[in-house]
Amino acid sequence: MPAEWEPHQGTILTWPHDEAHWPGLFEHVPGIIARMVKELEIGEEVHIVTHDAVVEESAKKEMSKAGVVGKNVHLHRIPSNFPWVRDHGPIVVKNEKGERIFLDWLFNAHGDQWKYDKDDKIPSQLASTLQFPVRQIDMVLEGGSIDVNGKGTLLTTENCLLNPNRNPSFSKEKIEQHLKENLGVTHILWLKEGIQGDDTSGHVDDLTRFVGPRTVVTVVQEDPNDPDFAPLQENLGRLKTMKDQDGNPLEIIPIAQPKPVYVSEHQPTKAKVTEKEGFRIPASYANFYIANECVLLPVWNDPKDADAISTLQKCFPGRRIVPIDSRILTWGFGSFHCLTQQQPK
């Protein structure tokens, strides 16, 4: 599996259409997706899964309003449930000849949390549409639960991959075997827990990300009274002892978490009141997406936004850093990395 910063042919998205994740706020979400497409199309193809003709037409209108040129944008009418393509979409790997293969892992909606019968079928259907070979893998795995450096090292979390709501009959050794055999990694690094509000059992893409072959950015909490302080310190402590596939210690760049973000703080006056009001959402600067020409970075109307922008710009000096307010989007418990999946060149 290539690193995310390696050249892409394109980015895969699944267009949102179900209000279940954003009650009262859904009307704002398609415009955010369209903004993403506008930024992505500059440097690569954008392949968008659209649920049906109605969703396809809506996507076209939103992209037109956002100023999307559309030359590099391709719509594929495939039924879907939710837009988190990082988790339900294909993970694309390359074999020794450089040929690309779409991996179709099992998907159970982060531990059977919602109906996912359509999402689970998307990798194979998209592989057929794009005419790529597909490999079925008998293991539940979401793309947001792993991060790789493209050289043989993979980062993940115990709280997610070892959770009995994923692969209850698999030992840690069997999970590692599947990862090594199918992703071409040789070295697996285990962090522990995720952050508050994360409904994925602790995806690593809200915590720690490779930004170079042996360099990671990792979120830290500065307030010792915050519930995230101790788990993130635990992860930081582990990172300081970790080495890459060649035995080199990791270079660690901390990024401070924004102040806690709650649904009630950004709920429009006329929005439907739900049980989510007052719920802390998983606000993290780590859920960025590295595209060919830019980095889509979630920001939170917080003074720490500027530091996160500066840090990512230093990590990717040749790319535009595109900060986009993610407060409404992340009421759905995901951000830009969750909404994207790279297709390597």
> For residue 286, how many C-alpha atoms fall within 13 Å in the half-sphere facing its CB?
30
d(CA 115, CA 113) in angstroms, rounded, equals 7
Nearest to 300 by CA among 320, 277, 278, 326: 326
**Beta carbons of 86 and 142 less than 8 angstroms apart:** yes
Kindly report the backbone phi and psi dihedral angles of residue 278, in degrees, each rounded to the nearest multiple of 5, phi listed first: 85, 0
Residues 338, 11: Cα–Cα separation, whole Å: 12
Measured from the Cβ of residue 282, the count of other Cβ atoms closer than 10 Å reads: 24
What is the SS3 assignment for 294? Answer: strand
Candidate list 160, 294, 315, 338, residue with the active-site label: 338
For the beta carbon of residue 213, count every other beta carbon within 10 angstroms. 18
- Asked about 294 being catalytic, the answer comes back as no
What are the helix (H) ranges across the chain?
29-40, 53-65, 85-88, 109-112, 122-130, 158-161, 172-183, 229-241, 305-315
Q: For the sheet containing 8-14, what is the strand order?
A: 73-77, 45-50, 8-14, 341-344
Closest CA to 90 of 48, 42, 58, 125: 125
Residues 37 and 297: beta-carbon distance below 8 Å: no
- Distances in Å between the Cα of 283 and the Cα atoms of 170, 200, 279, 288, 332 are 31, 14, 12, 11, 11
Question: How would DSSP label each residue in 122-136?
Answer: HHHHHHHHHT--EEE
Which residues are designated catalytic?
338
